[in-house]
Structure 1
Amino acid sequence: MRTLLVLGLLLNHLLALAGSTGAGPSQGITPEQVAVIVNDADPNSVEIGAYYLAARHIPDKNLIHVSIPGHPRKLSLAAFTQLKQQIEANLPPETEAMVLAWTAPYAVECNAITAALTLGFDASQCKDTCAAGKPSPYFNAATAHPYADLGLRLSMLLPTDNLAQAKALIDRGVVSNFRQYPASAYFLRTADPDRNTRSKFFPPDGAVPPLQFSVKNLKANQLENAQDVMVYETGGAQVIKLETVRFLPGALADHLTSFGGDLLGKNQMSSLRWLEAGATASYGTVSEPCNYWQKFPNPTVLLKHYLSGATAIEAYWKSVAWPAQGLFIGEPLAAPYRR
């Protein structure tokens, strides 16, 4: 009963914000507040970093060069500490968010690199990755200025292994800011009970006026042939039929499973598959989290902030209560509902 009450209150707040004229370009992270970090040892990283600066009109002074030879998937704490110090020493003071223009590294021991960079490395989580995580002060926060208000610079990884796909991803994010499409959020309750722990937070079916937006709950293992997808969240180690789905510019999509954030791993579906299928941002964990819903995006919180005008990086970060193991990937400034 308490869960239903919370859902109802959040949805009412979502509707109120969606109908308000207060969510505008003056709120939230802007390109001038974004730093782009490129790996000079990776030509793709350098090229995509330059492409992203031009596409989003990010000042040249916000480009930071580092060197990480060998494309390691995981960094030691010592290597990460050195990298973090180098990045922070060169950040413009107004920086609110960081874009890591590479595919690997994406982990620091058991932490995701985006979480370690934003919140600091959590050594206690690595003693038992299935233990509860530390609460994020940014979870469901009302602030539009994470660094100014909370001392947190959000980070997101922009994969670069495939140059054409990386540029297409950036282009989708840019386009999302200029046109609003009739769209839907799809929340799937699958036959996998262990990976359905956040289904109790699925917002109820219905329209969200005046946004030409609908919420749709399905009991299904996969979504097929939907052509208006702005949000797609499910639970499962693999997600099939993605080739039949049309993701709109700015779409967010993720699956609750243990190793979605192990981008180059082979055991479960990588979160990269969502971006390859046309989503603009995604999320996954890099080490065994067990199935705490708090370690994954909360569907109602994610939807509330995204439809209220938040960027993809803000909405995703605000939706995860315990993000130490969680990797945020995609184009961070996508904001289809910012007016």
Structure 2
Amino acid sequence: MGRFPAAVLLLVALPSLARAQGGLGSVDRRVDPARQVVVIVNEAVPDSVAVGLHYCRRRSIPEANLCRVRTTDREVLSWPEFREQVQKPVTRFLEKFPDALFLVPCWGIPSRISEENAENDDPKDEPESTVRTFVTNRDYACLDAELALLPRPARAIEGWIESDLYGRNERITAAHRLFLVSRLDGLTAGIARGLVDKAIHAETFGPAGEAYLDTRGLDKASPYGYTDEEMRLTLQVFAAYGWAIHHEDTEEEQDVSSLKNCLFYWGWYAGDWNGRQPFTFRTGAVAAHLHSCAACSIRTETRFWVGPLLSHGVTCTTGTVYEPLTAGFPRMHLIYDRLFQGYTWGEATAMGNQMLSWMAVFVGDPLYAPFAKGLRETQAANRDLATAGPRKAEMLLDSGDLDGAAAILRDIRALPAAFEEAADPAFLLRELAARRLQPASGTVDSVRTACAEGRAAALNADTKAATAAFERALKLSPLNFDANLSLGLFLLDADRAAQALPFFDKCARVDPADPALQVPWGIALGASGKFKEAIPILENAVAGGDPGGLGALGDCYLRAGDRPRAIATLKDAVARFPKDRKAWASLARAHRDSGDDAAAHAVLMEAVQIYPESVLDIAAYRTLWKDANVAAERAKLKKEREDIIWVLKDFDLPDFAPPTQGVWLEINRQADAARAEAGALVLGSIQEQALKVPGLPRLQCGNLSPSPIVLYLKGPCSRVVRFPAFAGQKGASREVGIWPGEYDVVLVVQKGGEKTTIVGTTTFHLHKEYGMTVSPGLGLEFPQR
């Protein structure tokens, strides 16, 4: 950040806070989204359009207000690109919106314009100064800052322009001839999309949390002391509105991730995000860190500041895209002041930004106004409804007053956002629908508890206990959506689609449009031979944004005889979900049915690279190899078939027999218990070498240590191998046949009354053998033959 001589400091003379401040929530929000908001998206980037459409839906902005440009997907573009690809189409589009005030560039729109005329930088005919070096004739800029000045076209692009709105405290309208520009951006489109959701949540329930100011304790007379003094004005702002603030005023760099319950943060002067632990800002947070390069890239979660702040949950932030000098960085104390009064983020940033046509970028929903006049009382009522309402509705359900419960739940669902600190009413809504169709004998809480126990058991892969819990829930409430869905999913995962279908059909009676139901219901219908019924359900699910049904949809198209559509859909499925083994198998079948056995073989060889994840996957994995053998034979691929046959031979060897599901679960339980021992050592790398012929992986393991050892392999083909203490006997090593996949490897060495545990994770690949003999010093060696 450039230093300022005294002459330059005059540029940053502060507006009077006494004149600027009004009361908390004294300004109402006056925005007509249909007339005043234009959303700018890059139609060359599909996710940019998706973010823009989401914003329009959430803020009731007509889709006609979506301005589509086509430009680079990079963060920086040149002036010629800006003029032709952004400025001209946006200017033409704005002719339809004479009252436009807010412009919202979305993820995928560049944020920086590169320098056009570098040769005229630092003009020598002017007196030497910081401004001459960093401002005069400099024409790199923030793209949004140039959009803001579209109503003022007759101007030079070099240098900065003093803002006539800086420090004002008044409603901004189109008459001011300045667009209020704040973008929806971040590392990912998902982060950008979530900014409006966070803003609406905070407006609905009120922002809550702690405020932090991090200054450097500098003397006002020091080179950077003026900036430190200016930042300390934030203390006056927060005090004026009755908001306590934590102030750190030393040179020591403050770890932002250590700030508890953080809603507001304003600090300086680290170059990059300095958080050293997991951290999330409170919803509705407004935070910034003053640094020259705070926004040199926005699509990052570790470099600079704006990107990481967004990645850690901030709702609104600001930074600069190139060197701004301190005069060019927005004044957060003014922005906070205007927000507290009730102005929107877009208005507050305009009044807190001194320099136009310069480097400042603002990120967040420009309509965000959590302190607008009249919101405080509404927010309190909304919090009460969201927190106390579910319990009241539950009591009414238990008493049989379904209409009373429905009225409360309807009010909760009508809130603009779901309160993060309240119970999700979705379970109650589904249970209400179920009880309208069939009475329940148990309380809502007893049904919920049984479902929770079922989910916990399912997470531990204990299907038997999970099934029992969900069946208990159905005895209490026969049409409970969650229990029926879970039991259907268990059966579907076990390839028992016909038995799963009745459970999904019961779910459909309760809520046929529930997104969690669509894909599994469609899969079960298709696998049960009802592919014509399945197709529209799966098509709706995919159109609604759930591509998880693509594989099943392609399979249904295939069963319906539409091979071209099946192949196209299945290719899309495996491209999106390269580990969807069933989609690969269906694509191979589609090629086979089209007479292209070579293509079917190629697809199946891709599919067998998707290793099993549990013992339940092994049967399907075995089938892929058998189908690959048939395809190779039909395509007359002699060498390829010979390789496949070597693998098929391993299937029938006793050493490769997988455990039963019960044994598999027990080995996994023992491995987890051993792995949880305190003070475990880290397993070294397990040596490997290629097999002489293709086949399933082998593990040569043994014990040369003087202590007995237990080896646990937790994976798709879990094993437990026990070795006695080595006493010079033969047969100290043995070969263990396993199926390919990722395994937790746990070695337990028992030496007297002491136990040493060594743990690691390894993927055992096809056509490889691995060696791990434990040496006397507990190292790993490849067994000697």
Structure 1-normalised TM-score?
0.82
Query: Which AA in structure 2 matches 1:269?
Result: F
User: Could you tell which deviates more after superposition, 274-283 or 161-170?
Assistant: 161-170
Distance 1:134 1:188, change over 3 A: same
| Residue from 58, 61, 66 that aligns with 2:61 | 58
Of structures 1 and 2, the one with the larger relative CO (CA 8 A, separation 6+) is 1
Q: Which residue of 2 aligns with 1:123?
A: 157
1:303 corresponds to which residue?
A: 336
* 1:161 shift after superposition: 5.2
Q: Give me the whole-angstrom Cα distance separating, in 1, the residues matched to 2:371 and 2:276.
A: 24
Is the helix fraction higher in 1 or 2?
2
Q: Residues 195, 326 of structure 1: CA spacing in aligned structure 2 closer, same or farther, 3 A cutoff?
A: farther
**Cα drift, residue 239 of structure 1:** 3.1
AA paired with 1:187?
L
Q: Shift in Å at residue 58 of structure 1?
A: 1.1
- Equivalent position of 1:269 in the other structure: 304
Verify the 8 A CA contact 1:207 1:215 in the aligned structure 2: no
**Alignment-mate amino acid for residue 336 of structure 1:** P
Output the amino acid matched with 1:141. R
Structure 1 residue 103 displacement after superposition = 4.2
Is the CA contact 1:190–1:236 (under 8 Å) kept in the aligned structure 2?
Answer: no
Letter in 1 for 2:23: L
8 Å contact 1:206–1:215 — kept in the other structure?
A: no
Aligned residues: 319
Alpha carbons of structure 1 residues 55 and 112: separation in structure 2 relative to 1, 3 Å: same
* Counterpart contact for 1:30–1:333, Cα < 8 Å: no
- Deviation at residue 313 of structure 1 after TM alignment: 2.0
Rounded to whole Å, the distance in 2 between the matches of 1:239 and 1:160 is 14
Give me the whole-angstrom Cα distance separating, in 2, the residues matched to 1:183 and 1:12: 27
User: How has the CA–CA distance of structure 1 residues 62 and 269 changed in structure 2, closer, same or farther, with 3 Å as cutoff?
Assistant: same
Q: Is the 8 A contact 1:118 1:152 kept in 2?
A: yes
2: CA distance between counterparts of 1:242 and 1:38?
Answer: 35
Show the counterpart of 1:17: 23
Question: What's the counterpart of residue 320 of structure 1?
Answer: 353
SS at match of 1:313: helix
Shift of 1:12: 7.4
Quote how far apart the aligned CAs of 1:314 are.
1.8
The CA deviation at 1:214 is 2.2
Give the Cα–Cα distance (whole angstroms) in 2 for the partners of residues 142 and 204 of structure 1.
Answer: 17
Equivalent pair of 2:338/2:348 in contact (CA under 8 Å): yes
Q: Name which of 101, 123, 139 aligns with 2:106.
A: 101
The one-letter code of the counterpart of 2:371 is: Y
> 1:171-196: CA deviations, max 9, x gaps?
10111212224444322114898777
Equivalent-residue separation in structure 1 for 2:244 and 2:32 (angstroms): 27
Cα distance between partner residues in 1 of 2:99 and 2:277? 40
Correspondence for 2:248 = 218
Q: Are 2:46 and 1:43 aligned?
A: yes
Residue of structure 1 in register with 2:168 after alignment: 141
Checking the alignment, whether the CA contact within 8 Å between 1:233 and 1:254 is kept in structure 2 is yes
Counterpart of 1:77 (choices 65, 76, 79) is 79
Q: 1:157: how far off? A: 1.9
For residues 163 and 123 of structure 1, do their structure 2 counterparts lie closer, same or farther at Cα, with a shift above 3 Å needed? closer
3-state SS in 2 of match to 1:249: coil
2:266–2:287 CA contact under 8 A, matched in 1: yes
Q: CA separation in 1, counterparts of 2:59 and 2:262?
A: 25
Identity rate, percent: 22
2:261 equivalent in structure 1: 227
Look up the match of 1:130: none
| CA offset digits 1:279-298 (Å, max 9, x no partner) | 111112122224x2x21121
Provide the aligned C-alpha RMSD in A.
3.1
What letter matches 1:23 in structure 2?
V
- One-letter code aligned to 1:115: A
Aligned-partner Cα distance in 2 for 1:328–1:8? 21
Q: What is the CA-CA distance between 1:37 and the residue it aligns to? A: 0.8
The alpha-carbon distance between structure 1 residues 75 and 122, as it changes in their structure 2 partners (threshold 3 A), is farther
SS for the counterpart of 2:355 is coil
* Separation of aligned partners in 1, 2:161 and 2:274: 33
Q: 1:62 to 1:160 in 2, by over 3 A?
A: farther
Distance 1:94 1:230 in 2: 32
1:129 maps to none
Task: State how far apart, in whole Å, the 2-side matches of 1:299 and 1:24 are.
Answer: 21
Q: Which residue of 1 aligns with 2:567?
A: none
2:317 corresponds, among 282, 287, 293, to 282
Q: Aligned pair in 2 of structure 1 residues 93, 229: CA closer, same or farther (>3 Å)?
A: same
Quick one: which amino acid aligns to residue 74 of structure 2? P
